[in-house]
């Protein structure tokens, strides 16, 4: 995929993504939360207004707990940062360890012959594999009430363009859908996209741990 095509694809997604709703439209009603989901959602929400630039370029990271400056990021970074800040769960280290032990179980989309701690955890297909392998998958349904605050959902926006976000504790008053905290190109936002794209995964931590 050329850089020009990637730029055009990101621009298309930005222009066609549902626009962020205003604060007044998203304050009520509020879904019930738990000791697990409350800090996770709060940590994800603190990224709004901080992560403003969509940047999926390959960069060398420290290990563990490596990150790029929070001004920049992609959809996976919303989840990675929220889990670190809220529960000290480092997906960089966890995905890397699991890939080292079970490399053949992970997608071979990128032609790698071994794990790469700089990028593996920032790729949605790897997170899907990790969550499934650790028993976090729950059914995908068309009932918005089945998506609880703190759940993680993945979608396929276009062929070859996966996406991930965190289910919010706020519900859109018009659709009745829980909002999603995610970065689809606008920077980190909170809006109603739960059923806007083809869903590919629905995940919930077992006993508050992945």
Say if 98 falls within a structural domain: yes
For the chain (length 210 residues), average pLDDT per consecutive 10? 44 48 50 90 98 96 98 98 97 98 96 96 98 96 97 95 98 97 96 98 79
Q: Can you give the pLDDT at residue 205?
A: 79
Give the C-alpha separation, 90 to 33, whole Å: 22
Q: Can you give the pLDDT at residue 32?
A: 80
Say if 160 falls within a structural domain: yes
Domain range for 127: 24-203
Q: Can you give the pLDDT at residue 8?
A: 47
Q: Can you give the pLDDT at residue 178?
A: 98
Q: Indicate the DSSP class of residue 189.
A: E
Q: Can you give the pLDDT at residue 30?
A: 77
Beta-bridge mates of residue 40: none
Give the C-alpha separation, 137 to 200, whole Å: 11
Spatial contact of 139 and 204, defined as CB atoms under 8 Å apart: no
DSSP 133-158: HTT-B----S-GGGS-TT-EEEEEEE
Say if 166 falls within a structural domain: yes
Say if 110 falls within a structural domain: yes
Say if 18 falls within a structural domain: no
Q: Can you give the pLDDT at residue 144?
A: 98
Say if 19 falls within a structural domain: no
Q: Can you give the pLDDT at residue 29?
A: 63
CA-based nearest residue to 152, from 117, 178, 174, 186: 178
Say if 93 falls within a structural domain: yes
Counting the structural domains of the chain, the total is: 1
Spatial contact of 69 and 181, defined as CB atoms under 8 Å apart: no
CATH code of 152's domain: 3.90.1720.10
DSSP H helical ranges for 17-135? 37-45, 75-87, 91-101, 124-133
Say if 114 falls within a structural domain: yes
């Amino acid at each position: 995929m050329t850089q020009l095509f990637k730029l055009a694809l990101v621009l298309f997604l930005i222009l066609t993504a549902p626009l962020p709703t205003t604060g007044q439209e998203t304050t009520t009603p509020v879904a019930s939360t738990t000791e697990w989901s409350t800090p996770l959602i709060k940590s994800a929400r603190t990224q709004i207004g901080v992560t403003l630039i969509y940047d999926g370029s390959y960069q060398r990271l420290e290990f563990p707990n490596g990150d790029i400056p929070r001004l920049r990021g992609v959809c996976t970074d919303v989840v990675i940062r929220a889990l670190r800040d809220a529960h000290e769960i480092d997906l960089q280290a966890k995905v890397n360890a699991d890939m080292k032990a079970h490399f053949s179980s992970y997608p071979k989309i990128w032609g790698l012959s071994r794990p790469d701690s700089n990028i593996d955890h920032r790729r949605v297909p790897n997170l899907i594999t990790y969550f499934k392998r650790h028993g976090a998958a729950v059914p995908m349904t068309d009932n918005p009430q089945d998506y609880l605050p703190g759940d993680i959902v993945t979608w396929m926006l276009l062929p070859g363009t996966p996406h991930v976000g965190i289910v919010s504790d706020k519900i859109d008053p018009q659709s009745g859908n829980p909002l999603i905290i995610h970065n689809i190109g606008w920077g980190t936002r909170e809006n109603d996209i739960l059923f806007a794209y083809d869903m590919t995964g629905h995940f919930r931590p077992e006993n508050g741990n992945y």
